[in-house]
Amino acid sequence: MEIVASGIRPTGNLHLGNYFGALKSFLKMQDEYKCFFFIADWHSLTTHPKPENLRRSVKTILSEYLACGIDPAKATIYVQSDVREVAELYLYLNMNAYLGELERVTTFKEKVRAQPDNVNAGLLTYPSLMASDVIIHRAVKVPVGKDQEQNMEMMRKFARRFNNIYNVEFFPEPQSFSLSEKAVKVPGLDGSGKMGKSEGNAIYLVDDEKTITKKVMSAVTDSGPTQPDSVKPEPIQNLFAMMEIVSTPDTYLYFNEQYNTCRIRYGDMKKQLAADINAFCAPVRDKINAISADEDYLEQVMRQGAAKASESAAATLKAVREIIGFKN
């Protein structure tokens, strides 16, 4: 069975964009591949989180992924810092990672612009830690977005470079992949773009009914169409795109017909959309709250995941040390 590895940044609650994007792919993958999903708490240190925030974020993300359907019996889900072998492989990869190539990585240059007072070595060597996370399990597939393709190319380069330096065919070169031909793009409700934390336009899975309704009712609209079958402006198209995801087909067709005949009442549409989003989120929210309150279960999942991931990582690192020339 092919091995898949992917990281999850502990950066706050999951929103609908996460759910219909990466998470839906994870749920499919755990039935078809040998999966390692890790919460990347070492990566988050590049922004200097406080200890209490880091611990809370890890448990929040773990609770939400479990509530949404990640099954520890099918996939290995673990906390990155619980698998110490990753750090050792990270060191070895850094010994053959060069300053020039690391400085040219687009995500590094973007972070330098965003946080000029905190340009640390972790930011610079992010690609080699990302590579270590994946090739420690000798994974061949990584579900990532297009924005990570340069880091994926660096990952393949580091795997290939290790093989070439030591004249072995040990590490596979992991490939980016998606289970679906077209990922579902969940729009924000602020008039443009996709839903995201940094954009401030997200509806979170843990949002209560009042919060969801308030967010949807404040969505950007216009004065309405003046001609039948007119093209929808982006803010209006975003509302319909969201409705297409969470509402019944009949509901979508009804409001689409209302728009095309210039009879649309956006207030009615937004009330219906808010109700449909609430209906979708309510059972997930209840599961998240129940799991996050069960500290014993979360600890059990983390221990189980750490044991499985460490077994895989230790086998790889044992071979790596022998290849390099260290005694085990």
Which one of the listed residues 34, 74, 194, 232 is annotated catalytic? Answer: 194
Q: Is 111 a catalytic residue?
A: yes
Residues in Cβ contact with 209 at an 8 Å cutoff, skipping those fewer than 6 apart: 278, 282
Alpha helices in the chain (DSSP H): 16-18, 24-32, 41-44, 51-67, 85-94, 99-103, 106-114, 121-124, 126-135, 149-165, 209-217, 234-246, 249-260, 266-292, 295-324
Would you call 281 exposed, middle or buried from its count of C-beta atoms within 10 A (0-12, 13-18, 19+)? Answer: buried
Q: Does residue 271 carry a catalytic annotation?
A: no
Rounded Cα gap, residues 306 and 10, in angstroms: 17
Q: Which of the following is catalytic: 59, 111, 141, 270?
A: 111
Angle, vertex CA 96, rays to CA 92 and CA 99, nearest 5: 120
Of 34, 185, 197, 271, the catalytic one is 197
Could you tell me if residue 83 is left (phi over 0), alpha (psi between -120 and 50 degrees) or otherwise beta? beta
> 28 catalytic, yes or no?
no
Positions marked active-site? 111, 194, 197
